[in-house]
Amino acid sequence: MKYILSGVLYMLSYIKFSIIVLLLAAIVLLLPAPLPSFAADTSGALNSSVSDDAILTVGVNSGAVSVSAYSAVLIDARDCNILYAKNATERLPMASTTKIMTAIIAIEYGDLNETVEIPSAAVGVEGSSIYLYTGEKLTLLDLLYALLLESANDAAAAIALTIAGSEEEFSHLMNDKAAELGLSDTRFQNPHGLDAEGHFTTALDLARLSAYALKNETFAKIVSTRKTTIPLNGTEGIRLLINHNKMLRSYEGAIGVKTGYTRHSGRCLVSAAERDGLTLVAVTLNASNDWNDHRKMLDYGFSSYVSISLLGAGKYDLMVPLTGGFNEWVKCTNAEEVRVTLPKTHGVISCTVECPRFIFAPVKSGEAVGKIIYTCDGRTIGESELITTSAAESKYSQRGFWYWVKSLFGFD
């Protein structure tokens, strides 16, 4: 009897040891392991999420362009990588480029088709104006065209009063949005950009704000409009609105965005242009020759950088072994497009796929299981998550732990 008990205990000990070994092996196998690297075909298509380090390491190339502006910056609108900079993080007044934020707040908070009755507080505002009448009725969209094409300060005031009840409360919304976007060197005191203490931005913050704004279809359509008309105080007459941004008429691919000037700020300009999938945003603050500055910066950007689509969304397929499921495999694909902007002189682009050797069921559809990483010239330039394309149930989920243990030894 003693020998029988010893044998049973030995067998139980062996089974327990085997289970532990199998569990440890499973843990090791589940650790992400890079699949073989390969050089990427840069003739394909791809969009990416680019690391914060990449934003700083593309290089500011301060000697590449000579500009009249005290402060200037050129960025890639897609990921805000800095391509050129001069005093780009110094806080300065921004004049009517303020209205970029005014427009975004109006679009995001207001109803574009709402009829606005112009309050007396919005009539006779200093500076650029479309000469609104007290009690005149226009849509919020009409006011946005006046704001961004004619740089109308009275339209800015009317928008602020309609959305927030006062310019002060509207400025709070503007500052909240700046904080949300990470614009730590920007502060607004009014919706029009007239000189005020504590009203400032930097060229870099303004460029990043503009890149964000251009992703809004309504904003992008308005700032790319050369001219339009809106009603005139309920009469048969019309107001002709002409965009002050000369770049729309003089620079190939120009798509916006806003001019500005006060005696205190000097000439301020934000421009954007698009060519061959590459969208650039240029900003100058306090420039004596801003139009020429912007042509030079944009020319530099388009001649020196290229936008490369590395991998289209859902274009990479990978079958990963599935353990404990009804199927043997689960299909995975890349979650998003990977697109990068690189110097035209860039080196070889390499790709590494990180993914576990197998996955335990259950698995949810869209669950992240790995990632694709692209590198070039010694740094990461983009990556995309690998996600499952469908759910996979566990065949043991309803049968309990001991059923799973028995299945490890082939008794299921």
Please identify every residue annotated as catalytic.
96, 99, 151
Query: Which residues, in sequence order, are bridge partners of residue 323?
Result: 360
Q: Which residues contact 230 (CB under 8 A, 6 or more apart)?
A: 138, 142, 145, 146, 238, 239, 241
In order of 97, 244, 264, the CA distances from 197 in angstroms are 16, 26, 11
C-alpha–C-alpha distance, residues 253 and 266, integer Å: 26
What DSSP string runs through 158-174? Answer: HHHHHHHSSHHHHHHHH
In 232-315, at which residue ranges do the beta strands (DSSP E only) sit?
Answer: 238-242, 254-262, 266-275, 278-285, 305-311
Q: Which two tokens stand for residue 201?
A: 């931005």
CB-based contacts of 178-183 (< 8 A; 24+ apart in sequence): 178/101, 178/205, 178/209, 181/208, 181/209, 181/212, 182/208, 183/208, 183/209
Asked whether 273 and 61 are in contact (CB, 8 A), the reply is no
Asked whether 347 and 377 are in contact (CB, 8 A), the reply is yes
Among 319, 308, 261, 268, CA closest to 76: 308
Asked whether 265 and 274 are in contact (CB, 8 A), the reply is no
C-alpha–C-alpha distance, residues 376 and 379, integer Å: 6
Q: Among all chains, which residue has been given the structure tokens 């353990």?
A: 323
Instruction: Count, in order, helices (H) and strands (E) of the chain.
Output: 11, 19
Query: Which residues, in sequence order, are bridge partners of residue 200?
Result: 187
